[in-house]
Structure 1
Amino acid sequence: MDELISTSQLRERYGRPDFIPREVFRKWVTKTRLNQLMEIDGVSARSYIKRWEGKSNAIKRSGNLYRPIDLFARARNQMHQVRPPKTERTRLALHEIEIRYAQLEKAASNMPHEIHMHEMSMGLTNRRLLTEKEIVGNGRMTPHLTGVYFLIKDERIVYVGQSLNIISRVAAHVKHKEFDRFAFVPCDAQDLDVLESLYIHFLQPELNGLLNGDNGHHAPLSLPSLIGYKRRSA
């Protein structure tokens, strides 16, 4: 029975979950405090303790106080899942998101990010034929045909892609994807995979699709590989 195992034996055998502070793991605390520390087998720590009350192997206590290490040991012996309570899981999830974006920003810090908007129509419409001078004067230079492009619909980016010829590639999407305009970031060919992956991981556009068995979206490079990326010299 785990009640006969010493504290040092418990520590060696079970370790300590990262979400339970070291200073309280072996300390006698109230049920309220336990509820703030852990959830066991899908229920609160208080409910888990009550589950064993009245039995010969009730969880060890000192008056109305219990030790997190004893609940953790019992849960491990019973193959029950131990995890942070819901409020703490939400906080940890938000913290992970903050770390993810910080990593993305660090990986993207030395990449070019000059955005260019391109309307589907250049607006050269009139009730009369335009002169050659008017047409040439309204022409717009495409500063860079190679880069990462963004398909936009209803003020949302729905797809991220890359191409050595952006105009041709975007035109090919018209038959298969719904969008009303596009934008692009000029980029050297050697950096296309990196820049496209950064934007896909950051924006998670719906038309890029989800990876099988993962929460991430399709991208040439995974997030871990981007974190240690060092840009090659042009």
Structure 2
Amino acid sequence: MSRPEKILLVDDEIGILNLMKITLEKERFSHITTCESGEEALSVLSKQQFDVIVLDIMLPDMDGLDCCRSIRQFTDTPILFLTARSSDLDKLTAFGVGGDDYITKPFNPLEIIARIHVQLRRQKKLQPVSHAPINCYDYGTFILNIVEGTLTVQGEPVTYTAQEFKLLVFFCEHPNQVFTSAQLYQRVWESSYANDEKTVAMHISKLRRKIERDAKSPKMIITLRGIGYKFVPPKGEQVESKYSL
């Protein structure tokens, strides 16, 4: 039985790509995509999600470190660097730009498989435990009914756009968690992030004017400067699941 995880391999050496692909297939990985340049990898990543990325640093069109920086703007997918560079400075730089592991050439293909398995296990542990979906969030100050598609603030119905609704639902589903603008854009807009922080900030500003008592001094949708945003539910209020799909 094949494994469901999706692996992206990025290297300009076709021989290495073929070797890794064959080794992964022997381990029952069947969803493998290969790229021979950084631009090709970024294009592929803008269209689909992967569970692990194996990235060469010495690419023909761009430095793999710069490629990693671009990838980190819109996804937290684990990145394993594969390179002939072996100095401590190179390794520290790779981890500094967002890499999760570092493998030097020449390499044992089985070692890469082992490290991929490590990253997949870590990702699985980080995934939240699945619970029955909550379809109505009642925070007292506002009630968001997902089934009926209604938002009530202080007892009064409030209109909203589709994107505002999706953003508020996402915040309610992930209370007290910090998200960067890039992460919010990727998860809510379901599109690759193009450094458009104004779009995210504008929608958050509109939401604050609708659910906060004082939009200029928000207590629920908090901005963490230089980091991102966090939804803090009103203290003492309970979330209720009143409806089932």
State TM-score, norm by structure 1. 0.23
Whichever structure has more strand as a proportion of its residues is: 2
Q: Which is richer in helix?
A: 1
